[in-house]
Amino acid sequence: MRYLVFSLCLVLVSCASYPKQKSLKEIETTNKQIRNLYFSDSEKDYVYKASIDLYGNHFGGMLIIKKIAPKNHRVVFTTEMGSKIFDLSFIGDNFKVNFIISDLDRKMLLNQLKKDFRILFTEEAKVLKTFNTENETIFEVQLLKDEYYYVTNSNNLTKIVRVSKGKEKEVFSFVECKENDALELEIQHKTFDLTIRLVAI
């Protein structure tokens, strides 16, 4: 009987919503929109030293992001010596693979990259609920049919967390930022062996 109670507790805890698990306190939603402007300046070339770890394989190189026009981004990953690894276009709701080396030409990976960059390039999202902790204000939004939490600290976006069934599935961490420039960021997947680290150069 004791085991049954314990198991039930475990089930209840694991089913608890993300805000409950994190003991987040819901507050009134005054900001109806949350903005992510890290890749919003079409005048800028966003160039990063990148490292991508995928299923035990390490790929190093440069990642170049350019906002060509509103809702139009280009992402190119090259080796340090300049050879292209992938080249992707995000135009409106369309996603186009301009180039990818055959070793990485896998549907699962491409779908994941498509989703990751779409989130990074989403400049505005509608806030469904707002929570706070001692230092942070957290905004719950729905993007691409998934549940996301935008974590802010003193009005700076520090994290975007994708949550499914109460669990963190993916974390975008903006480690170092200066105004609207993300100087260092990491995208870590919890259910897919993929981590992307970017440091601005």
Partner 1 sequence: MYRVFFFFVLSFNVFPIIAQEQLMNGAEIATFKKQVANASSTTTTIKSDFIQYKHLDFLDNAITTYGQLWYKSPNLVKWEYTKPYQYSVIFKGNQMLVNDGGNKSSIDMERSKLFKKLSNLIVNSVQGTLFDENDFETSFFITEKGNKVIFVSKDEKLKKYITSFELVFNKKDATVIQIKMIEPSGDYTQIVFTHKEINTSLPSALFSF
| Positions that interact with partner 1 (CB under 8 A) | 45, 47, 49, 51, 58, 60, 62, 64, 66, 68, 74, 76, 78, 80-84, 87, 98-99, 101-102, 201
CB of 91 to partner 1, least distance (A): 12
Closest CB to partner 1 among residues 71, 84: 84
Closest CB to partner 1 among residues 35, 74: 74
CB of 196 to partner 1, least distance (A): 15
Closest CB to partner 1 among residues 96, 126: 96
CB of 130 to partner 1, least distance (A): 37
Closest by Cα among 177, 161, 178 to 169: 161
Closest CB to partner 1 among residues 30, 83: 83
Distances (CA, A) of 129 to 58, 95, 142, 165: 38, 30, 10, 17
What is the token pair recorded at 118? 């779409």
Q: Are 4 and 106 in contact (CB under 8 A)?
A: no
Closest CB to partner 1 among residues 143, 200: 200
* Helix or strand holding residue 140 (H, E): strand 136-143
Whose tokens are 């259910």? That residue is: 191
CB of 68 to partner 1, least distance (A): 6
- How far is Cα 29 from Cα 60, in angstroms, rounded to an integer? 41
CB of 82 to partner 1, least distance (A): 3
Whose tokens are 């480690």? That residue is: 175
Which DSSP string corresponds to 45-81? EEEEEEEEEETTEEEEEEEEEEEEETTEEEEEEE-TT
